[in-house]
Amino acid sequence: MAEKILEFRNVSFSYGKQLAVEKASFSIEKGDFVGMIGPNGAGKTTLVKLALGLLKPDKGKIRLFGKDIADFHEWHKVGYVPQKATGFDQNFPASVFEVASMGRIPKAGLMKQFSENDRKAVERALEVSGISGLRGKRIGDLSGGQQQRVFIARALAAEPELLILDEPTVGVDQKAQHEFYLLLGRLNREMGMTLVLISHDVGVVAKNAGKIACVNVGVTMHDASKGIDAALLCAYGNDMGRVPHHHD
């Protein structure tokens, strides 16, 4: 039986009187690539915040790497890549290497001097992300796709086993998106990293993920290899149409 990396057991959460997540029960196993879909306000980002320990469930239990989240302290095992557009100052005077090094803090400690092992971990993260040649560049001078690779490298610097990405390609052009998802595929297949990807692009999720988590206050898991119709119906209801499209 595969190791359960993240497990929700009958979890509910509300913002005041507004129910955001209701009786969510699902598990993500080691090596999974899970695409999370659902309409705006369905609870996707709330689920991520619960999984990261930023919110506490009103009811139910959450387990990370086999431990109750309240007793979990090995946060270097969990990497997080938020939307690039949120909270990023384009004039921030830091190099690519410096930004990527910030991801090492959960493992090295905030007040500790970086060791040679820490530096090598950052260098490996830059190499895996395909941006070693940009290490000295100021991050604000990079393209949107390059900046997202820096944020990936920052997350990878901690050598996580679980990587959670929340709409990571918002504002990124199609070519950069394609390269970004190729990178995610390599992380999953070649490095065995467990991935959770939140995206509104159902086509991308269906193409890249092995499992689809359909979120609409509740959560239902689907096998992506069996098609996406059931997941779409669950997430968006039956009052929808689909327009076939492709990207050159």
pLDDT one-digit tens code per residue, 138-188: 988 888 888 888 988 999 998 899 999 988 777 667 777 788 888 888 889
Q: Which of 232, 66, 144 is nearest to 224 (CA)?
A: 232
| Share of the chain residues as helix, strand and coil, in percent rounded to the nearest 5 | 40, 25, 35
pLDDT band with cut points at 50, 70 and 90 for residue 50 = very high
Residue 70 CA to residue 82 CA, distance in Å, equals 23
Structural domain contains residue 110 = yes
- Which amino acid is located at 232 in the chain? L
> Which domain, by its residues, includes 81?
4-236
Structural domain contains residue 46 = yes
- Measure Cα distances from 127 to 135, 157, 222, 228 in Å: 10, 11, 33, 34
Query: pLDDT higher for 62 or 111?
Result: 62
pLDDT at position 49 is 94
CATH number for 120: 3.40.50.300
Residue 21 near residue 12 (C-beta atoms within 8 A): yes
Structural domain contains residue 247 = no
Domain count, the chain: 1
Q: pTM of the predicted model, to two decimals?
A: 0.84
* Average pLDDT for the chain: 85
Q: Which of 53, 26, 21 is nearest to 38 (CA)?
A: 21
pLDDT at position 86 is 45
Structural domain contains residue 96 = yes
Structural domain contains residue 181 = yes
